[in-house]
């Protein structure tokens, strides 16, 4: 049997083919959800390599998540011959880190969001110590610093653009905090995520030679999800793309959902101004969703206060009973209803009067597996109750959440411990491991060490190396002795671990530090540990690459295993670009959609609407919108109303489902009768 060669053009429609074959000028592909934008992009890269003999080295594809980059590489592999090298497909963060390393900044490592917040808190503490009063919460200041960096503003710049004078945060004050924060990062030789972008923008815009070198290397540049670019990312693409670069950007203005992080859909419009000879191609045919789902989602966007972008897509996939709205009494009943529905659609057995999920007329498969289902929500906090109910019901599921993978109690300490033994730790890692039971070091001792650490502007390795040679003046001998014993223990670990692989190192620390009991305490932590060890395997002895991988997995989907036969639980944001046969959007309630944390918070209703649109258009065959009458939010039980967005969908497209939760006395489980 000879394998049929993949047909790069044959699997595309006319518009898509045109986009793949376009030559000689920048290309902008605008299209609604499911129109095959990402697919077209991938095929265009394959076409460049296979038909136009472009070298993979000259191609760069920037994606929004690592998962998307990986998927693109996998798809390319299937389109190309085995011997053909693959182009660089990476997120902006990964690309920038690579560029910075290539330019000689090899000392720096990256901190994650959690660590960033700790750095901001320390900066605030130090500013306060100097007698300056700080009223604003660390989170708010942290956001402002991030926002400044996203606008490519450094501490010495005028920061009035991001300062909030109404909260008495003027530019000068913000400069002080920002400067202190930056000094702390410098001391520990760290970049935060925003630094990666900021430094590369500065580098490319100021150094003509370096810029030209990259321009010559990346002759063909692709950017998916272009509507979610922020200023820094836009400037990087711009700097890398002189007019003769074959730049191809792809997106959908109606799906822009990251305004809160500084993205601006206007860069989409600006593209045509920047590159006057841009060819614009629109894709109009949707290959993903049943027409009812598309029609309903279009009604959501149509009600938009700003003009919809006119990227209406149409589908030939007919569906009956594709869109259901379900009301439940409480969030628990909601979770049970979702779980029951999934069970019924999988089994198809023992269901009441209606054949739920049976859509034979459409030719859509009815023998579904767990991985065909996604449960989406507006906030991560909503996942807990769903996960608990699913666990009781024995429904295999996965929560896509970076925090779940790396920040769980036990896992975080384990990673910190490994970093410290690898001379790759920061003070905060050390703090985490001295707080482990049995370290012999109390808070007082640590605080003395910390003060000394900041006074001397050491890195952690320097500090640990020096602490034994230069006794800390403030520390009494007893404390000093215990501290040195602990430091000796770390050195001992180092020696024992020197020859080991990453996986073996993790196991060694797991067994020798008491972290194992923390991890074993919780089933989910145990699973996260198994996943971590499995991931580590692929890295052999390359521990620093392992750390880099962890920190560059910035998206919730990055730590998620899409091959598992499990129901997906994720936020609406994380679902961008993905598709599932059956989608539940839970918590379709006012105050979730649009999301409102507090009374006086300003909300971007249009962006919330677009987010709802993105979530709806993930569904292929069936879409369920669920809402509850009462929900516990921030510890208080409150009455909930249905989201005003749902009212924008015409009644004729919706099947209303009523659920009644009945408690059976014998079994303690909540039993549900649907459609009574
Ligand atoms: P989103 O806006 O959500 O990112 P998209 O425009 O990137 O969507 P894709 O994910 O590329 O859309 O495609 C949606 C689905 O349609 C995928 O399953 C893809 O394989 C399929 N598809 C796209 N084009 C075609 C085609 N010409 N023939 C068959 N299937 C197609
Ligand atoms: Mg896409």
Q: Tens digits of per-residue pLDDT, 12-32?
A: 999 999 999 999 999 999 999
In the chain the first and final C-alpha atoms are separated, in Å, by: 55
Ligand 1 lined by 252 (C-beta under 6 Å): yes
Q: Is 595 helix (H, G, I), strand (E, B) or coil?
A: strand
Ligand closest to 284 (CA) is 1
Of all atoms in ligand 1, which is nearest to the CA of residue 578?
3
What are 297-306's pLDDT values in tens digits?
A: 999 988 765 5
Of all atoms in ligand 1, which is nearest to the CA of residue 16?
27
Does pLDDT of 362 surpass 70? no
Q: Calculate mean pLDDT across residues 473-480.
A: 84
Ligand 1 lined by 287 (C-beta under 6 Å): yes
What are the angstrom distances between the C-alpha of 99 and each of 92, 211, 246, 257, 387? 10, 11, 20, 28, 40
pLDDT of the residue at 364: 45
- Residues annotated within the binding site for ATP are 31-38
How many whole angstroms from 284 Cα to the centroid of ligand 1?
A: 11
Instruction: Tell me the pairing of strands 27-31 and 279-283.
Output: parallel
Ligand 1 lined by 596 (C-beta under 6 Å): no
Give me 470's structure tokens.
């230069």
What are 364-406's pLDDT values in tens digits?
A: 445 789 999 999 999 999 999 999 999 999 999 999 988 888 8
How many whole angstroms from 249 Cα to the centroid of ligand 1?
A: 16
Q: Calculate mean pLDDT across residues 120-147.
A: 90
Of all atoms in ligand 1, which is nearest to the CA of residue 13?
27
Q: How confident is the model at residue 659 (pLDDT cuts 50, 70, 90)?
A: low
Ligand 1 lined by 180 (C-beta under 6 Å): no
How many whole angstroms from 153 Cα to the centroid of ligand 2?
A: 31
Going by C-alpha positions, the residue among 341, 324, 331, 390 that lies closest to residue 673 is: 341
Does pLDDT of 354 surpass 70? no
Among the residue ranges 309-318, 381-390, 420-429, the one predicted with the least confidence is 309-318
Q: How confident is the model at residue 363 (pLDDT cuts 50, 70, 90)?
A: very low
Ligand closest to 282 (CA) is 1
pLDDT of the residue at 165: 67
* pTM of the predicted model as reported, rounded to 2 decimal places: 0.90
pLDDT of the residue at 31: 94
Ligand 1 lined by 39 (C-beta under 6 Å): yes
How many whole angstroms from 380 Cα to the centroid of ligand 2?
A: 23
Does pLDDT of 508 surpass 60? yes
Ligand 1 lined by 561 (C-beta under 6 Å): no
What are 317-341's pLDDT values in tens digits?
A: 876 667 999 999 999 999 999 999 9
Does pLDDT of 309 surpass 50? yes
22, 25, 29, 35 alpha-carbon torsion, rounded to 10°: 10
What are the angstrom distances between the C-alpha of 259 and each of 226, 375, 603? 13, 24, 11
Ligand 1 lined by 31 (C-beta under 6 Å): yes
pLDDT of the residue at 261: 83
Q: Kindly report whether the peptide bond that precedes residue 594 is cis, defined as omega within 30 degrees of 0.
A: yes
How many whole angstroms from 249 Cα to the centroid of ligand 2?
A: 12
Helices (H), 103-206: 113-129, 138-150, 171-187, 193-206
The contacts of residue 64 (CB under 8 Å, 6+ apart) are 91, 224, 225, 228, 555, 576, 577
What are 74-124's pLDDT values in tens digits?
A: 999 999 988 899 999 999 999 999 999 999 999 999 999 999 999 999 999
Ligand 1 lined by 35 (C-beta under 6 Å): yes
Q: Is 299 helix (H, G, I), strand (E, B) or coil?
A: helix
pLDDT of the residue at 672: 40
Ligand 1 lined by 7 (C-beta under 6 Å): no
**Are 254 and 610 spatial neighbours (Cβ–Cβ below 8 Å)?**
yes
pLDDT of the residue at 663: 45
What are 217-276's pLDDT values in tens digits?
A: 999 999 999 999 999 999 999 999 998 899 999 999 999 999 888 888 888 888 989 999
pLDDT of the residue at 676: 28
Q: Write the DSSP string, 390-441.
A: HHHHT--EEE--HHHHHSSTTHHHHHHHHHHHTT---HHHHHHHHTSTT---
Ligand 1 lined by 318 (C-beta under 6 Å): no
Of all atoms in ligand 1, which is nearest to the CA of residue 42?
11
pLDDT of the residue at 321: 67
Q: CA 276 to CA 243: how far, in whole Å?
A: 9
Ligand 1 lined by 577 (C-beta under 6 Å): yes
Percent of the chain with pLDDT over 90: 69
Does pLDDT of 478 surpass 60? yes
Residue of the CA atom closest to atom 13 of ligand 1 = 36
Ligand 1 lined by 65 (C-beta under 6 Å): no
Give me 150's structure tokens.
């996203």
The contacts of residue 201 (CB under 8 Å, 6+ apart) are 152, 232, 235, 236, 239
Sign of CA dihedral 464, 466, 470, 474: negative
What are 562-589's pLDDT values in tens digits?
A: 788 999 999 999 999 999 999 999 999 9
How many whole angstroms from 578 Cα to the centroid of ligand 2?
A: 7
Does pLDDT of 2 surpass 60? no
- Report for 70-84, 125-139, 211-225, 543-557: range of highest mean pLDDT: 211-225
How many whole angstroms from 644 Cα to the centroid of ligand 1?
A: 30
pLDDT of the residue at 675: 31
Give me 388's structure tokens.
């608990």
Going by C-alpha positions, the residue among 166, 162, 121 that lies closest to residue 145 is: 162
**Are 514 and 437 spatial neighbours (Cβ–Cβ below 8 Å)?**
yes
Ligand 1 lined by 251 (C-beta under 6 Å): no
**Running DSSP on this structure, what letter comes out for residue 307?**
P
pLDDT of the residue at 666: 37
Q: Is 548 helix (H, G, I), strand (E, B) or coil?
A: helix
Does pLDDT of 429 surpass 60? yes
Q: CA 592 to CA 365: how far, in whole Å?
A: 32
Give me 588's structure tokens.
């379709």
Sign of CA dihedral 617, 623, 628, 631: negative
How many whole angstroms from 40 Cα to the centroid of ligand 2?
A: 9
Going by C-alpha positions, the residue among 263, 358, 306, 255 that lies closest to residue 617 is: 255
What are 139-186's pLDDT values in tens digits?
A: 889 999 999 999 999 999 998 888 776 666 777 888 999 999 999 999
Does pLDDT of 466 surpass 70? yes
Q: CA 269 to CA 190: how far, in whole Å?
A: 35
The contacts of residue 353 (CB under 8 Å, 6+ apart) are 675
Q: What is the mean pLDDT of the chain?
A: 88
Mutational pocket test of ligand 1: of 11, 28, 36, the residue with most ligand atoms within 8 Å of the beta carbon: 36
Residue that has been written with the tokens 């067994």 in this structure: 511
How many whole angstroms from 38 Cα to the centroid of ligand 1?
A: 7
**Burial class, 536, CB count within 10 angstroms (exposed 0-12 / middle 13-18 / buried 19+):** buried
Q: CA 145 to CA 135: how far, in whole Å?
A: 16
Phi, psi of 222 (to 5 degrees): -125, 140
């Amino acid at each position: 049997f000879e394998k049929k060669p993949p047909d790069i053009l044959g699997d595309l429609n006319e518009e898509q083919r045109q986009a793949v074959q376009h030559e000689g000028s920048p290309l902008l592909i605008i299209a609604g959800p499911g129109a095959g934008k990402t697919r077209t992009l991938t095929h265009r890269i394959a076409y460049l390599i296979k038909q136009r003999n472009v070298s993979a080295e000259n191609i760069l594809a920037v994606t929004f998540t690592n998962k998307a980059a990986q998927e693109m590489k996998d798809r390319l592999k299937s389109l190309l011959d085995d011997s053909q090298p693959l182009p660089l497909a990476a997120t902006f963060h990964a690309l920038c880190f690579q560029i910075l390393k290539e330019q000689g900044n090899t000392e720096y490592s990256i901190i994650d969001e959690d660590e960033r917040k700790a750095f901001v808190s320390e900066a605030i503490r130090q500013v306060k110590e100097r007698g300056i009063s700080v009223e604003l919460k660390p989170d708010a200041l942290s956001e402002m610093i991030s926002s400044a960096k996203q606008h490519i503003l450094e501490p010495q710049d005028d920061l009035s653009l991001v300062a909030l004078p109404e909260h008495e945060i003027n530019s000068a004050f913000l400069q002080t905090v920002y400067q202190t924060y930056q000094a702390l990062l410098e001391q520990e030789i760290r970049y935060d995520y925003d630094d990666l972008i900021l430094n590369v923008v500065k580098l490319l815009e100021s150094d003509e030679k370096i810029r030209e070198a990259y321009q010559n290397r990346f002759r063909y540049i692709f950017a998916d999800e272009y509507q979610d670019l922020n200023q820094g990312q836009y400037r990087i693409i711009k700097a890398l793309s002189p007019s003769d670069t074959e730049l191809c950007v792809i997106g959908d203005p109606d799906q822009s959902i990251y305004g809160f992080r500084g993205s601006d859909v206007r860069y989409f419009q600006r593209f045509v101004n920047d590159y006057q000879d841009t060819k614009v191609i629109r894709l109009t045919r949707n290959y993903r969703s049943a027409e009812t789902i598309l029609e309903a989602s279009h009604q959501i966007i149509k009600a938009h206060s700003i003009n919809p972008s006119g990227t209406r897509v149409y589908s030939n996939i007919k569906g009956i009973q594709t869109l259901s709205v379900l009301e439940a009494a409480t969030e628990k009943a909601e979770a049970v209803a979702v779980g029951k529905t999934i069970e019924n659609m999988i089994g198809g057995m023992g269901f009441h009067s209606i054949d739920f999920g049976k859509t034979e007329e459409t030719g859509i498969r009815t023998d579904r597996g767990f991985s065909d289902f996604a449960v989406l929500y507006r906030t991560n906090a909503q996942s807990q109750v769903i996960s608990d109910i699913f666990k009781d019901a024995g429904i295999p599921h996965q929560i896509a959440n970076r925090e779940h993978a790396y920040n769980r109690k036990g896992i975080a300490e384990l990673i910190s411990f490994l970093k410290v033994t690898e001379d790759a730790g920061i003070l905060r890692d050390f703090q985490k491991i001295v707080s482990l039971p049995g370290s012999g070091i109390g808070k007082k001792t640590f605080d003395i060490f910390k003060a000394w650490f900041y006074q001397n502007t050491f890195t952690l390795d320097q500090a640990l190396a020096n602490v034994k040679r230069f006794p800390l003046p403030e520390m009494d001998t007893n404390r000093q002795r215990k501290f040195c014993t602990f430091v000796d223990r770390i050195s001992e670990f180092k020696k024992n671990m020197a020859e080991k692989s990453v996986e073996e190192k993790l196991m060694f620390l797991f067994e020798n530090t008491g972290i194992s009991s923390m991890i074993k305490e919780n089933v989910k932590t145990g699973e996260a540990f198994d996943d971590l060890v499995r991931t580590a395997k692929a890295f052999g002895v390359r521990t620093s690459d392992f750390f880099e991988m962890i920190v560059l997995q910035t998206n919730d989907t990055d730590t998620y295993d899409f091959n598992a036969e499990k129901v997906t639980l994720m936020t609406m944001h994380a679902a961008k670009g993905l598709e599932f046969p059956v989608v539940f959007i839970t918590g379709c309630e006012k105050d979730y959609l649009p999301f409102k944390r507090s009374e006086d918070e300003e909300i971007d209703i249009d962006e919330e609407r677009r987010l709802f649109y993105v979530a709806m258009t993930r569904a292929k065959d069936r879409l369920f919108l669920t809402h509850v009458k009462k929900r516990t939010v921030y510890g208080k039980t409150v009455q909930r109303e249905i989201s005003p967005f749902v009212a924008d969908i015409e009644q004729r497209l919706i099947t209303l489902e009523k659920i009644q939760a009945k408690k059976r006395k014998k079994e303690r489980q909540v039993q549900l009768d649907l459609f009574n």
